[in-house]
Structure 1
């Protein structure tokens, strides 16, 4: 923070004996006013949404018999009838990023809402056949969210509230936060400089770029085009709320997940495919992960573009949550993973 890499942070470190350290530093908002960060600050969790909502909901719906992770995507999305290899993509392919779908596309330039997104993604060519190689994919988790909604019979934000947040009594982990919570929310980017660069010439002529500050609304534009709720991004939460979900994943928890589901979240399901991944998580057995030297090689975790991360060490029985809004007020190129490794090294010594 002293270097100006990000304005503020909230953190939590816990073990079997309970919370070991919890606190907040710096500012949650710099513009249009300065608001201090607090442990009650809600952060845009960005891609932490993938394991916390996408994977957890898949596990819960599986336990209810509403889906199997081995199901073809087409079993839940009847409209999913693309030509070629894409027709055989499974939910597990999406959950482990081995579907063959590309890493990212600015779908919002071409489509709006779930029906248009599904039609556009159906025409998107795969980069490789399913199951051949791991490539982290936002479009894959967007499709996963659509399948979860069909299997669960409700919109994603409602499914998450009913099947994850409510059983854990979590009021501070939600999609589409109401405006009444705005002053508790960490602001993110003013404008869309980062996504405009990523979109390149594909964005020429697009008139939907965000003009103002993202404060209380999701930073990710694909999630915004889907009404603020997607399995790839959209959740807002506090470090304490993220910790309470992570405790269920580490186990034994309160019964939200069973032991087999927890195994799938920590075991390598993509051996030999270029990157070790479990059900929704990156494994520390990969070289150069944000886990760093402070965590065991059996650790697993996830990060979010806005500057968030969660890592779980099953050997040490430790949980590490670090939430920042490093894209506020603008997106800067920093080595956020180096900062995460430093945090883990310090926190592991507690």
Structure 2
């Protein structure tokens, strides 16, 4: 194995520094993830196998999959892996601006499972929210619309019939301030590449009603490091949600809008902002330093990994303000995104769930509610209530994670997974979107999944779930 690792590193050093979509990585990973027979499972992780995690994380740096990353794992309640790699800002494995285990990351859609869903668990346990109740029970303004008939359960399972998302930010922009289309689907002079084939026209002006370059009484929420948004824009967002087309087909369709609406339910019922609610009821009791809007909580930008150099909408490097545009339109606090933290701190929420909602002998979330949310499956078993699930083949997890596993991935290159069958928590954080969202090496090469499988191998867990009944 040592010779294999030496050969692998030699191969890695030959990878072009500018490669964005490397080929042949599967053959390299074969040297790291082997099929050697091991006892199942071990009581202690195998040190040589843990070293493979180091090697694969460094391979990700060489392939420019991310500037840096954090990996954290708990097994039977004990830390078995806690390391950081690379830089906060420099691709290619360079050592400037070094990353650490204390670096804070934009968790993106992990927010859905680490903030919004636990908040709903509490409200369901307290009989303040019913899973089978329609939205109109909590948001009276949806009465008389198809949206009002969507249930809390359908929102959590992504079976609401809602579209994947809405570009709310277009309503912030003065339509008279630019020529042609704001977003186009082929390259053009002066255009900024966005996600997929989309290109954006950055030559626009924001409406003064909504955006200002300094905080004012009217513009009191942070939109980006140097721009502020009016809270009144939330009303405009709700207007657009009320007019959105809701399909009668309630099959699975992932949508950020589901969790934007769930946030509104939580805030109406609890009479608190989502950020305040989860801080008081979940994070503070378990000592988890997780934040919405970290810059507003005294966290220095220098300890936060930047999520994107946004040259289209905000015209700034996003360091400490949320990457997701929908969450930014809500001032950084949203049900779909907006949470920040390190792998160590996120793992506390994962471990709380693994411990059936109990922390140091105290019940934070009732055990029966954790069981309800994590074992209730939606269409095709693709989701449980608020959480993603493994697929039979491929999917968001490694192949060795059990069918019982639940958790979530985030767009910025993050994930956490809880595996009750093996008493295991796995957390991976990165800023793969910095400097550009066009960097999809992490996704296409399934590095998160491969790192997770290496962790299972270190414990002697070698049988893919597809082989288990």
TM over 0.5: yes
Shift in CA distance, 296/21, structure 1 to aligned 2, threshold 3 Å: same
- The answer (yes or no) to whether the contact 2:404–2:421 under 8 Å persists in 1 is yes
Which of residues 413, 422, 443 in structure 2 aligns to 1:336?
443
Deviation at 1:180, TM superposition (A): 3.7
State the SS of the aligned residue for 2:426.
strand
Number of residue-to-residue matches in the alignment: 328
Alpha-carbon offset, residue 294 of structure 1 = 2.1
What CA deviation, in whole Å up to 9, does each residue of 1:217-262 have, x standing for no partner? Answer: 0000110010100010000011111110001111243222222222
Q: Alpha-carbon deviations, 1:124-151, whole Å to 9, x = none? A: 001x226x20101101111111111101
Determine which of 191, 199, 205 is the counterpart of 2:310.
191
In the superposition, the TM-score normalised over structure 2's length comes to 0.67
Describe the shift of the 1:186–1:150 C-alpha distance in structure 2 as closer, same or farther (beyond 3 A). same
Equivalent residue, structure 1, for 2:85: 25
1:310–1:319 CA contact under 8 A, matched in 2: yes
Per the alignment, in what secondary structure is the counterpart of residue 11 of structure 1? strand
Question: Offset at 1:349?
Answer: 2.4
TM normalised by structure 1 equals 0.89
1:235 to 339, 347, 363: 339
Report deviation, 1:82.
4.9
Match of 1:177 among 294, 313, 318: 294
- Structure 2: give runs of 5+ residues left out of the alignment: 1-60, 173-231, 459-469
Q: Which aligned runs of 4 or more in structure 1 are off by greater than 3 angstroms?
A: none
Separation (CA, whole Å) in 1 of partners of 2:432 and 2:243: 34
Deviations 1:37-91 (A, max 9, x none): 11111110000000111110000122233222222111111111253x3221111
CA distance in 2, matches of 1:120, 1:106: 10
Q: Distance in 2 between matches of 1:216 and 1:113?
A: 21
Counterpart position of 1:248: 352
SS of aligned partner of 1:110? helix
> Could you tell me whether the CA contact under 8 Å between 2:432 and 2:442 is conserved in 1?
no
2:135 and 2:147 in contact (8 A); partners too: no
Aligned match of 2:417: 311
Match of 2:67 in 1: 7
Alpha-carbon contact 1:6-1:324 (below 8 Å) kept: yes
Query: Which moved further from structure 2: 6-15 or 100-109?
Result: 100-109
Residue-by-residue CA offset, 1:262-308 (whole Å, 9 max, x unaligned): 223322421xx345211111111453212122211221221000000
Q: Which of 141, 150, 154 is 2:272 aligned to?
A: 154
Q: Which residue of 1 aligns with 2:399?
A: 293
Q: Which runs of 5+ in 1 are unaligned?
A: 194-208
1:260 to 343, 350, 368: 368
Matched, 1:63 2:125: yes
In structure 1, the partner of 2:196 is none
CA deviations over 1:110-136 (Å, ceiling 9, x no partner): 36632221111000001x226x20101
CA distance in 2, matches of 1:146, 1:110: 20
Counterpart Cα distance in 1 of 2:290 and 2:328: 18
Q: Which residue of 2 aligns with 1:201?
A: none
Give the aligned partner of residue 89 of structure 1: 150
Q: Structure 1 pair 311/138, CA: closer, same or farther in 2 (3 Å)?
A: same
Residues 285 and 298, structure 1, Cα contact 8 Å, conserved in 2: no
What SS does the corresponding residue of 2:285 show, helix, strand or coil?
Answer: coil
- Matching of residue 129 in structure 1 with residue 190 in structure 2: no
Compute the displacement of 1:335 (Å). 4.5
Change (3 A) 1:308 1:82: farther
Task: Find the residue that maps to 1:105 and give its secondary structure.
Answer: coil
Alpha-carbon distance in 1 for matches of 2:147, 2:396: 31
Q: What is the root-mean-square deviation of aligned Cα atoms in Å?
A: 1.9
